[in-house]
Amino acid sequence: MTDQGISQTGRRRTSLFRELLSDTPAAIGAALIVLIVVLTLFAPLIAPFDPADQNLTARLAPPVWIDGGSWQHVLGTDSLGRDVLSRILHGGQVTLLIGLCTTVIALAIGVVIGLWAGYCGGRADSILMRIVDIQVSFPGILLILLIVGVIGPGMMTMIIVLSVTNWMVYARLVRSTVMSLRQTPYVEAAELVGCRPARVIFVHILPNLIPPLLTLSILEFTNIVLAEAAVSFLGFGVQPPAISWGLDVATGRDYLFIAWWLVAFPGIAIALTVLSVNLFANWVRVTTDPQERERRFARDLAARQRRGLSS
Amino acid sequence: MTLPPTLSVENLTVSYPVRAGTFWRPPTFLTAVDEVTFAIAPGETLGLVGESGSGKTTVGRAVMRRVNTSAGRIFFRGEEITQMEGEPLRKLRARMQLVLQDPYTSLNPRMRIADIVAEPLLVHGRVKNTSEARDHVRALLDLVGMPADAHLRYPHSFSGGQRQRVGIARALALEPDLIVADEPVSALDVSVQAQVVNLLQDIQQRMGLSYLFIAHDLSVVRHISHRIAIMYAGRIVEIAPRERVFAAPVHPYTKTLLSAVPIPDPKIQRTRKRLIPLGEPVDLANPPPGCRFQTRCAFATDQCRVTSPPLLERSKGHVAACWNF
Amino acid sequence: MTLTVRDLHVAFETRGGRVNALRGVNLSVAPGETLGIVGESGSGKSVTAQAIMGLIDLPGRIEAGSITWNGKSLLEGDGYGTSVWGREISMIFQDPMTSLNPLMTIGAQICEVLTQHLGMTAEQARERAVDLLAAVGISGPRRRVDQYPHEFSGGMRQRAMIAMSIACNPKVLIADEPTTALDVTVQAQILDLLAELQSGLGLAIILITHDLGTVAGLCQRVAVMYSGRIVESQSVDAIFERPQHPYTQGLLRSTPRLDEPATRLLSIEGTPPSLMQADDGCAFRKRCPIAADACKEMPPLVTEGAVQIACHFPGRPAWQARQAG
């Protein structure tokens, strides 16, 4: 233990990868995430059709494994004869982009407000936290409809709207963590040594916030994906001709009884994304918590020893 | 020519609101420190001893201007610092430093030892970056007896005693005039305690700084202090040169405390007579009138129950607050 | 009615490597006896207690050895352990606040033990709870029984914990640093209480502590642990008068004593070895002034009458006698 002072980053990275592989659900989640990102990122290269191409002769074609389906449209076509697979690949771009941008913006707002409230305390804290309370208690969907009504729907609107309704959870987490961290002896020591507040925050407090924020923002990302889908489904989100999974579920709704694949496949894409991110987030949470990580290590070891004994 | 005391505290009082006031109820206050007066000369160590709730830690924090004083004045090298704030306070911190109790939590686990020790130099503009401070850091680590290769390692690879040495090196980096040591050895093992206490003594002899050494343990305090102050329930009950405290204690509380310290010798320990305080510890939110110790004192008289005794001089440099002794 | 531990090995698997917390511990306690286990942090004293109570859980594992009560093993999975733990063998911990439920009254918590383990009715249990609180020196037990832990002072909480631990008339009480979190004056009272209970109930007590002073007053026999092994075990008078193992000698001379002049404190240089490094030699040899080549081999624990010692040079003075100054 004493001799590993100088960190061997390379070795640590490979062992981290091995740790991920040994946790089957997390490994599957991570693999799915990579797959989804690659597929959507290279959608223009992979997709067999332009997602907007209409083909009225092949309207509402079923997926390939059903009678009447063809290999041309593997997942079938919609009411205008557009290829469902291509739409899902392209739609993922919008969905994931909105998810990513919103998470980053909401995180940034939340961290700044949380640090401000938690570090300054007193009146600033009371005011900021009351704002959070008000915003949390205000029905989110109502606020979204309100903003969309004022500035009109679209992708930018979605990002703004979802950021505005999602930063509070970060602010609360950061505030409470900062408040407890300020009581830790080494932060007190830093203040008494004569560190200016900026140094105390950036050198001594912020690094401790990264693990919980990482886990939270990964989980929040799935919430954003779901929210985007919901709002687009309601018709206030992404507008045609842009494509998103939620929008496709919404337009497919009218054909639910004659062409279930229009709803099912974008729906599965949403569910799969959310599920894989959750599996991965759980692993990140355990890995960034030294105690939990130690326990997982011991559990795995015990399981391996039991298996060794029985065989 | 006489130097002003490194630290002098006059009638220091600290009270906290324990329950916020509402529209119809005034806030409740808890007086953690009540009219405490003492001074520490240059190069001197004052041991401040008390049990939990005695206010000893609050005195340390008030002196460091970490908690606000409700009344009284604090002087550092003759200059009043009671209300000091902002940049002057930050500058002042270069000259008085704190060594904390728990070596496991008082060092940032994500920083290397060199960065921890160099931090005071960095934030007070003595150096521009850690590498510029390297020689200085090496010298400091050497001074506190840390191995030469320590500076690139992280706190987790060191034992409690070694971490406490790092904490001391950090406190010494700016060559302060005063170190407030808040129970610096109580989290350490016995065989290591002695190392740290001796280190503090050696440093004092070399650098001539003063210590306010806060502890609950009389047996360790005795070895490092020139004078010892005993606190009970927010007040100082006795201050004396260290040998007087042990040879001729005046206050019943001091005697009780002394008799409770176990002596590592079975023959003596079995036959020792102990003074046992009566009743229950004092409720600080609702302290008794008169002497704070009167509810637990076997010698309390009517006078003790009405008026609080002043600190009166018993012999040279030995003051105690008791009506009866 | 004896508790016997033979050649106990406990290891903890961590990401950093395997921590060999116990490396062959042997001890036994008879009824009415008080055994003190003294050691510093990491010596394995608390792990020993946890192993006896069946509290070793992942990532820790008992690798080898046996723990028997009345000749029957506590480690077999036949339920004998669960019928003994908490009844015939019970334990109190360092911090009573963490082992008391803050949402239940003290009385309810004691009654729970009584109704569950002894099958008492609610009224019987309540009466017994009041008696138990009185037995551990809590004044006004009828009123106290309905109070919550936060209404008790630290010392009172530890008394309540003791009341709970003796509720089922145990034969052995394991006390893991029972006074470390308490004030000195309260410490003395709790130790007195333990001594009283022992003679009154014929309890065997295993007192685990880092403090030789605590051991001196209460124990008949003392086992000194270092780095996962017992290095010396003999009667309390003998160990203070003629410590055999160099570590015991060093521990004794570095413990500050109030009854001796305040000279410079003496320490044992260095720190205990890491429990991860597998080492066949004597664990103390790097800090031992009389270490020789023979010490590269692990000294066995040799029993001679009532004395057990694990050293190649037992009884040889490792340090020069303390000089009066």
* Average pLDDT, rounded, for chain C: 87
pLDDT: is A53 or C48 the higher one? C48
Does residue A122 belong to the interface with chain B, where contact is any CB pair within 8 Å?
Answer: no
Does residue A56 belong to the interface with chain B, where contact is any CB pair within 8 Å?
Answer: no
To test the contact with chain A by mutation, choose from C10, C12, C14 the residue with the greatest count of A C-beta atoms within 10 A, namely: C14
- pLDDT tens per residue, range A58-83: 777 777 777 777 777 778 788 787 88
* Contact between chains at C14 and A294 (C-beta distance less than 8 A): yes
Same structural domain, C181 and C46: yes
- pLDDT tens per residue, range A98-118: 889 999 999 999 999 999 998
Does residue C83 belong to the interface with chain B, where contact is any CB pair within 8 Å?
Answer: no
For residue A5, name the pLDDT band (cuts at 50, 70, 90): very low
- pLDDT tens per residue, range A265-298: 888 888 898 899 889 988 888 888 777 887 888 7
Q: What are phi and psi of B312, to 5 degrees?
A: -115, 150
Does residue C16 belong to the interface with chain A, where contact is any CB pair within 8 Å?
Answer: yes
Could you give the CA distance from residue A38 to residue A34 in angstroms, rounded to a whole number?
6
How large is the C-alpha radius of gyration of chain B?
21
Q: Chains meeting A at 3+ CB pairs closer than 8 A?
A: B, C
Domain-embedded: residue C157: yes
Q: Report whether pLDDT(C248) > 90.
A: yes
Indicate the Cα dihedral angle C159, C165, C171, C173, nearest 10°. -70
**The total number of structural domains that make up chain B:** 1
Judging contacts by C-beta atoms under 8 Å, the chain A residues touching residue C16 are 1, 4
Domain-embedded: residue C315: no
Among B101, B102, B123, select the one facing A196 at the smallest CB separation: B123
Same structural domain, C161 and C193: no
Could you give the CA distance from residue A151 to residue A142 in angstroms, rounded to a whole number?
14
Q: Are strands B210-215 and B45-49 parallel, antiparallel or unpaired?
A: parallel
Q: Work out the percent of chain C whose per-residue pLDDT is above 90.
A: 34
Pair A110, A174: CB distance under 8 Å: yes
Region C13-23: what's the mean pLDDT? 84
Could you give the CA distance from residue B111 to residue B97 in angstroms, rounded to a whole number?
20
* Contact between chains at A194 and B64 (C-beta distance less than 8 A): no
Q: Residues in chain A, how many?
A: 311
Question: Could you tell me the maximum CA-CA distance found in chain C, to the nearest angstrom?
Answer: 67
Same structural domain, C205 and C287: yes
- pLDDT tens per residue, range C49-105: 999 998 888 778 898 999 999 888 888 877 788 888 888 899 998 887 788 898 999
B269: tokens are: 């320990």
Does residue B148 belong to the interface with chain A, where contact is any CB pair within 8 Å?
Answer: no
Could you give the CA distance from residue B162 to residue B147 in angstroms, rounded to a whole number?
9
Q: Shortest Cα distance from C267 to chain B (angstroms)? A: 5
Among B190, B243, B264, select the one facing C216 at the smallest CB separation: B264
Task: Give C161-180 as a DSSP string.
Answer: HHHHHTTT--SEEEEESTTT
Write down all domains in chain A, each with its CATH number in brackets.
12-288 (1.10.3720.10)
For residue C16, name the pLDDT band (cuts at 50, 70, 90): confident
For residue A28, name the pLDDT band (cuts at 50, 70, 90): very high
Among A5, A185, A199, select the one facing B123 at the smallest CB separation: A199
Closest CA to C302 of C294, C287, C292, C312: C312
Domain-embedded: residue C316: no
Does residue A203 belong to the interface with chain C, where contact is any CB pair within 8 Å?
Answer: no
Find how far residue C61's CA is from the centre of its chain.
Answer: 20
Could you give the CA distance from residue C134 to residue C145 in angstroms, rounded to a whole number?
10
Q: Shortest Cα distance from A14 to chain B (angstroms)? A: 21
Could you say which of C121, C136, C167 is where a domain stops? C167
Domain-embedded: residue B83: yes
Same structural domain, C36 and C52: yes
A108: tokens are: 């940034």
Question: Token pair 């355990």 is at which residue?
Answer: A286
* Average pLDDT, rounded, for chain A: 83
* Contact between chains at A1 and C59 (C-beta distance less than 8 A): no
Which domain, by its residues, includes B295?
7-95+176-320
Could you say which of C109, C136, C167 is where a domain stops? C167
Q: Chains meeting B at 3+ CB pairs closer than 8 A?
A: A, C
3-state class (DSSP) for residue C271: coil
Domain-embedded: residue C239: yes
Same structural domain, C104 and C147: yes
* Contact between chains at A1 and C13 (C-beta distance less than 8 A): no
Model pLDDT, residue C113? 87
pLDDT: is A275 or A152 the higher one? A275
Q: Report whether pLDDT(C8) > 90.
A: yes
C84: tokens are: 């003994």
Model pLDDT, residue B319? 93
- Nearest chain B residue to A206, by CA: B110
**The total number of structural domains that make up chain C:** 2
Judging contacts by C-beta atoms under 8 Å, the chain C residues touching residue B162 are 271
Domain-embedded: residue B127: no
Judging contacts by C-beta atoms under 8 Å, the chain A residues touching residue C14 are 294, 297-298
Does residue C95 belong to the interface with chain B, where contact is any CB pair within 8 Å?
Answer: no
Same structural domain, C211 and C300: yes
Q: Report whether pLDDT(A11) > 60.
A: no
Pair A74, A47: CB distance under 8 Å: no
Same structural domain, C76 and C150: no
Domain-embedded: residue B102: no
Among B64, B108, B153, select the one facing A186 at the smallest CB separation: B108
Model pLDDT, residue A7? 41
Does residue C323 belong to the interface with chain B, where contact is any CB pair within 8 Å?
Answer: no
Could you give the CA distance from residue B307 to residue B291 in angstroms, rounded to a whole number?
7
Judging contacts by C-beta atoms under 8 Å, the chain B residues touching residue A196 are 90, 123
HSE value, Cβ hemisphere, 13 Å, CA-based, for B28: 7
Same structural domain, C180 and C123: no
* Contact between chains at B98 and A184 (C-beta distance less than 8 A): no
Report how many Cβ contacts below 8 Å link chain A to chain B. Answer: 64
- pLDDT tens per residue, range C102-126: 899 999 999 998 898 888 899 999 9
Judging contacts by C-beta atoms under 8 Å, the chain C residues touching residue A298 are 12-14, 58-59
3-state class (DSSP) for residue C185: helix
Region A219-231: what's the mean pLDDT? 84
Judging contacts by C-beta atoms under 8 Å, the chain A residues touching residue C61 are 302
3-state class (DSSP) for residue B35: strand
C226: tokens are: 């270092």
Task: Give C275-322 as a DSSP string.
Answer: SSS---S-TTTTT-TT--GGGGSPPP-EEETTEEE--SSTT---SPPP
Closest CA to B266 of C192, C194, C237: C237
Does residue A189 belong to the interface with chain B, where contact is any CB pair within 8 Å?
Answer: yes
Domain-embedded: residue B194: yes
Q: Shortest Cα distance from B167 to chain A (angstroms)? A: 9
Among B111, B123, B154, select the one facing A193 at the smallest CB separation: B123
pLDDT: is B211 or A8 the higher one? B211
Pair B117, B154: CB distance under 8 Å: no
* Contact between chains at A297 and C276 (C-beta distance less than 8 A): no
Judging contacts by C-beta atoms under 8 Å, the chain B residues touching residue C213 are 261-264, 269
Pair C90, C173: CB distance under 8 Å: yes
Q: What are phi and psi of B103, to 5 degrees?
A: -70, -15
Residue ranges for chain B with pLDDT beneath 70: 1, 20-23
Indicate the Cα dihedral angle C110, C112, C117, C119, nearest 10°. 110
Q: Report whether pLDDT(A2) > 50.
A: no
Could you give the CA distance from residue C289 to residue C266 in angstroms, rounded to a whole number?
14
Angle CA(B304)–CA(B310)–CA(B315) in degrees, nearest 5?
115
Residue B77, number of CB atoms within 10 A of its CB: 18
Does residue A190 belong to the interface with chain B, where contact is any CB pair within 8 Å?
Answer: yes
Among B190, B223, B274, select the one facing C40 at the smallest CB separation: B190
Closest CA to B297 of B324, B320, B271, B273: B324
Domain-embedded: residue C322: no
Which contiguous run of DSSP H or E holds residue C226? strand C221-226
Domain-embedded: residue C108: yes
Judging contacts by C-beta atoms under 8 Å, the chain A residues touching residue C17 are 1
For residue A8, name the pLDDT band (cuts at 50, 70, 90): very low
To test the contact with chain C by mutation, choose from B101, B158, B163, B191 the residue with the greatest count of C C-beta atoms within 10 A, namely: B191
* Contact between chains at B100 and A188 (C-beta distance less than 8 A): yes
Judging contacts by C-beta atoms under 8 Å, the chain B residues touching residue A2 are 157-158
Does residue A293 belong to the interface with chain C, where contact is any CB pair within 8 Å?
Answer: yes
Give the CATH number for residue B219.
3.40.50.300
Q: Which residues of A20-47 are buried (b: 16+ CB within 10 A; e: fewer)?
A: beebeebbebbebbeebeebbeebeeeb
Give the CATH number for residue C10.
3.40.50.300
Does residue A198 belong to the interface with chain B, where contact is any CB pair within 8 Å?
Answer: no
- For residue A241, say if its preceding peptide bond is cis, omega within 30 degrees of 0: yes
Model pLDDT, residue B226? 94
To test the contact with chain A by mutation, choose from B68, B85, B106, B166 the residue with the greatest count of A C-beta atoms within 10 A, namely: B106
Could you give the CA distance from residue B202 to residue B207 in angstroms, rounded to a whole number?
9
Residue B157, number of CB atoms within 10 A of its CB: 16
Which contiguous run of DSSP H or E holds residue B194? helix B190-207
Judging contacts by C-beta atoms under 8 Å, the chain C residues touching residue A2 are 274
Q: Shortest Cα distance from B272 to chain C (angstroms)? A: 9
- Nearest chain C residue to A298, by CA: C59
Closest CA to B315 of B224, B215, B227: B227
A118: tokens are: 């938690």
Closest CA to A88 of A74, A102, A98: A74
Q: Shortest Cα distance from C56 to chain A (angstroms)? A: 13
Domain-embedded: residue C204: yes
Q: Are strands C89-92 and B178-182 parallel, antiparallel or unpaired?
A: unpaired
Strands annotated E in A113-152 = none
User: What are the angstrom distances between the C-alpha of A106 and each of A11, A101, A225, B150?
Assistant: 34, 8, 14, 41
Domain-embedded: residue B216: yes
Which domain, by its residues, includes C22?
3-88+170-309
Could you give the CA distance from residue C85 to residue C69 in angstroms, rounded to a whole number?
10
Could you give the CA distance from residue B236 to residue C108 in angstroms, rounded to a whole number?
40
Domain-embedded: residue C324: no
Judging contacts by C-beta atoms under 8 Å, the chain B residues touching residue C269 are 195
Q: Work out the percent of chain C whose per-residue pLDDT is above 70.
A: 98
- pLDDT tens per residue, range A125-147: 888 889 888 888 888 778 888 88
Judging contacts by C-beta atoms under 8 Å, the chain C residues touching residue B274 are 188
Same structural domain, C125 and C249: no
Model pLDDT, residue A13? 61
Same structural domain, C158 and C186: no
Same structural domain, C210 and C298: yes
Judging contacts by C-beta atoms under 8 Å, the chain A residues touching residue B149 are 5
Q: Please state the pTM of the whole predicted model.
A: 0.83
Does residue C260 belong to the interface with chain B, where contact is any CB pair within 8 Å?
Answer: no
* Contact between chains at A297 and C15 (C-beta distance less than 8 A): yes
Same structural domain, C163 and C188: no
Find how far residue A132's CA is from the centre of its chain.
Answer: 22
